[in-house]
Chain A
Amino acid sequence: MSSHKLSNLEYLESEAIYVMREVAASFERPTLMFSGGKDSICLLRLAEKAFRPSDFPFPLLNVDTGHNFDELIEFRDRRAEELGAKLIVRTVEDAIAKGIATPTPGELSRNRLQIPTLLSAIDEFEFDCAIGGARRDEEKARAKERFFSLRDEFGQWEPRSQRPEPWNLYNTMVSPGQNMRCFPISNWTEMDVWEYIRREQLEIPAVYFSHEREVVRRGGQWLAVNDIAPVKDGETVETKNVRVRTVGDIISTGCIESEASTIGEIIHEISAARVTERGSRADDKVSESSMEDRKREGYF
């Protein structure tokens, strides 16, 4: 009988498939948030495992900041097409034009502006559940997140009144005005994600691998030279071999110096890494509670 014991990765996969199927069975209009990043790439493979040979029982949704690494957008569109999935894109640019999202003067990063853009997309399509690739190991506030996380009309997360989730019995009930966020890979670590990408031989955007890029030193990290936040006086453009560990808004996603050009080398690099993946995201460094604050406002 011991041959039926699942390894760590098999266990996490089975759990995530179970959670995805709960969404399909319990919600009328779910969606899966796909950014082209490594975590949501795993979600798509898990969706294939949960639902094939059927089509996905939900469209994919991307909230596009407009501040992107180009190859990510190309990858996002191509992957959705390969899977025969419907892809909905809603842009922060458009949300600003419509007055749904309002940038604070001086605020360059668009991570915060993704929130109203996402909420307006949820409204527009009447989504009752949005599947996301957040993991509890990413950040302390996320460590207290549920698999099924209830949000009110303003998309707000209230950590003090979360529903208990004993065993694998998920309460998927929503009242009018409320909607659900669901995180099937809650229990995965960064290492599990990479191990899974390796095991499943998943394609990932080139920006994750070592490449030559023009970067400037800003706020203690290497940022890709871009048109949105141009090089300032006194900053020196350098050409380095870099890659990204996590992908967000291009103007706040730090590149790390790296020679890792295969999944195996990335895994090796991460196992020796001395900072967490979010350590390369300037938006999380603002204060110890910055993730908690954004989550309360409706960040996924």
Chain B
Amino acid sequence: MSSTSTIEKNSAPAASESLHKMDLLRFTTAGSVDDGKSTLIGRMLYDSKSIFEDQLEALERSAEITGGGEVNLANLTDGLRAEREQGITIDVAYRYFATPRRRFIIADTPGHAQYTRNMVTGASTANLALILVDARKGVSEQSKRHAYLASLLRIPHVVVCINKMDLVDFSEERYEQVRDEFMSFVPRLGLPDVTFIPVSALQGDNVVDPSENMDWYRGATLLGHLETVYIGSDFNLSEFRMPVQWVNRPGKDEFHDFRGFSGQITGGVVKVGDPVVVLPSGHRSRVKEIHTYDGNLEEAGCPRSVTLRLEDEIDITRGDVIVGEDRLPIVAQQHIAEICWMNDQPLALRKKYMLRQGTSTVQAMVSSIDHRIDMKDLGELEDPTELKLNDIGRIQFKTSKPLVYDSYRRNRMMGSFILIDPATHDTVAAGMLKEPENRMPVSVLAGPEDFVI
């Protein structure tokens, strides 16, 4: 944990009157205990003028109490008393800030080994992963683990901040060594977009303002990169999917024939008049109306929440998925997935868990564990006997009813699931579905109106 010795009073935090027109970047941070991650976030909030006077006062008060009188930027994010006492971050903390160019949500996750589950949670909704590497120590096991998780969770963009450059005399040579070391295992992970930035979180070099100590670096500062990285195509916009959440039936005279299917679009775009298939039943219909409180829409795309009305009376309930016709999803009861185990009780083979995917909840039973990832070298250990807390592995499992999904690789919202222990109700695993070995044809029933698929 590091600190700055002086904090000047900020001018007003960045003003913007048009936040509602701005887009949103969600990013996750990961680092080892001493990588200075909280300091980096504190620095970003501070230098972008997103910290307020009373927050600073609280920091200064606690600095006086704990002695030393030094304000610790890390205390801006370490919210719980135990965290401040132990100097660690226990849980995922969400932070919010805006610049005139973009709005940001940070999922700040702890870096220590036992908290992989929090890293997975933070990474699951992120567009971008920010990984910290200590310039003195080079690429640690932790850094590899973080890069692996970013790849497993298919975060579209990765930024590697090589931090504590002030402690290696802002050496370009050292920066290049660490960068090359990191790049040596990137091809194996298949990360699509990796950017390196040399920074000093403590002194602020290349965080918000360009460094005066590293004129050899010509790239963007961290904030500059976060403000401009292209996130336009991070959602799947090609195949229409909408898991039905809630059936809207007003039961009032003036709406006696209103029957709408409410949900969030998790893939693609839907238009009025589009032919759709309801899965797993296979019934077909057409979209009659895209209802919203603000009036009906002609078309709507992922991730908007809408209410669809269909041309035909079909029995549809929560857990069903309304999809477009052109590329149908997988409908199956036998599955392969990568999972991260998140509970103190290890995974038990043949035990009945509850599984939640989309809006559907079914029973699930794991038949085998194919392999477990060795976090030391990211290799696959064949035929492991169990998966324990923070282990990642590939499993084969069955569900009591068919699941409707796409592979996680294709659609993060359609291919993810959680496992719940039916006795304790704990969330015990987060999973990512893979394309099954033998993809079964999806049966689509003839609709009342005959059209060709």
Contact = CB atoms under 8 A, between A and B. Distances in A.
A48 B302 CA distance: 21
Interface in A116-165: 136-137, 139-141, 143-144, 159-160, 162-165
Nearest to A272: B12
B426 A163 contact: yes
B208 to A, nearest CB: 19
> On chain A, which size bracket covers the interface?
35 or more
A53 B117 contact: no
Contacts of A141: 79-80
B255 A53 contact: yes
Nearest to B89: A144
A104 interface: no
B230 to A, nearest CB: 11
A48 B269 contact: no
B246 interface: yes
A18 B90 contact: no
B296 to A, nearest CB: 12
Interface in A22-66: 22, 24-25, 48-55
Interface in B262-290: 262-264, 269
Interface in A1-16: 1-2, 4-15
B357 A169 contact: yes
Contacts of A195: 19-20
A245 to B, nearest CB: 12
Interface stretch (B169-177, B189-197, B413-421): B413-421
B218 to A, nearest CB: 30
Contact of A169 (B248, B356, B425): B356
Nearest to B415: A167
A109 interface: no
Given A186-B94, A199-B20, 15 more contacts: A7-B20, A8-B21, A8-B23, A49-B292, A53-B255, A137-B94, A139-B79, A140-B93, A163-B426, A164-B342, A166-B416, A171-B427, A173-B354, A274-B53, A289-B80
Interface of B: 10, 12-13, 15-17, 19-24, 52-55, 58, 61-62, 76-82, 84, 90-96, 98, 103, 105, 117-118, 120-121, 124-125, 232, 237, 245-246, 248-252, 255, 258, 262-264, 269, 292-294, 299-305, 318, 342, 354, 356-357, 359, 412-413, 416-418, 420, 425-427, 430
Interface of A: 1-2, 4-15, 17-18, 21-22, 24-25, 48-55, 136-137, 139-141, 143-144, 159-160, 162-169, 171, 173-175, 186-187, 189, 191-192, 195-196, 199, 267-268, 271-276, 278-279, 288-289, 292
